[in-house]
Amino acid sequence: MNKKELIFFLTRNNILKTKSIIQAFEKIDRKDFILKKYTNEVYNDYPLDIGFNQTISQPSTVAFMLELLSPKKGDKILDVGSGSGWTTTLLGYIVGGEGKVCGVELIPDLVLFGRANLEKYDFKNVKIYQATKDLGLKDKGPFDKILVSASARDVPEELVNQLKVGGTMVIPIQDSIFRIFKKSRKQIEKEKIPGFIFVPLIY
């Protein structure tokens, strides 16, 4: 499968729906975020190893999570578990120059890998940070949207606190993906979509 065929597959199956997200998949090439040994597999719809027991998620899962997140031009977004930098860069394209994307990654070698991949695109509004013992990037928040690409045990209070009131977080929890809507400082609304497997979120 080539890139055009992958995007056709995702749109035909109603996974990719939003114009800005489709355009991001067209402009931000998954090929730029993988290990070279997987070049012949880059557009297949499955995860690929990026080292350190981590993966770049399968395209259909990334598309599904981005559609749930509903990023918009001008949004300020936190991407937790940025890995190879693919989702961070996709989000950077979607939010445009008026927005901002902060990726955060725990594994130092993947921070360097993600930054090197991000540099293939001239985005001044996107940066990947080394994670600390504190989950997220509270000194950079609050955020309109938060995307988490590793599975948590429960809804992390630290991340909810970094979300603006009215903001949305998409996060895997155990074997499901949750969309969290922050209705007020103390109230959240949860939507559960089961049937997914992710590497664990370490915190």
Give per-residue pLDDT as tens, 143-198.
999 999 878 888 999 999 999 999 999 999 888 899 999 999 889 999 998 876 66
**Do the domain assignments include residue 113?**
yes
Helix axes 59-69, 3-12, angle to 10 degrees: 50
| Residues in contact with 73: Cβ distance below 8 Å, sequence separation at least 6, in sequence order | 20, 94, 95, 96, 98, 99
| pTM recorded for the entire structure | 0.94
Helix H or strand E segment including 100: strand 100-105
Which position among 20, 57, 82, 149 bears the catalytic label? 57
59: tokens are 């395209």
- pLDDT for 194: 81
Q: What does the pLDDT read at residue 200?
A: 62
Residues 58-65 have a mean pLDDT of 95
Domain membership of residue 65 (yes or no) is: yes
CATH number at residue 139: 3.40.50.150
Looking at the chain, the whole-number percentage of residues with pLDDT higher than 70 is: 96
Nearest residue to 16 (alpha-carbon basis) of 84, 86, 63 = 63
Report the pLDDT value the prediction gives residue 202, as an integer from 0 to 100: 60
Domain count, the chain: 1
Is residue 144 a part of any domain in this protein?
Answer: yes
CB of 93 closer than 8 Å to CB of 28:
yes
Q: Given a cut of 80, is residue 120 above it in pLDDT?
A: yes
Q: Is the pLDDT of residue 203 over 60?
A: no
* Residue 163 located in a structural domain: yes
- Whether 8 is in a domain gets the answer no
Task: Mark whether 70 is an active-site residue.
Answer: no
- Is residue 110 domain-resident? yes
Range of the domain at 75: 61-194
Question: What was the pLDDT predicted at 93?
Answer: 98
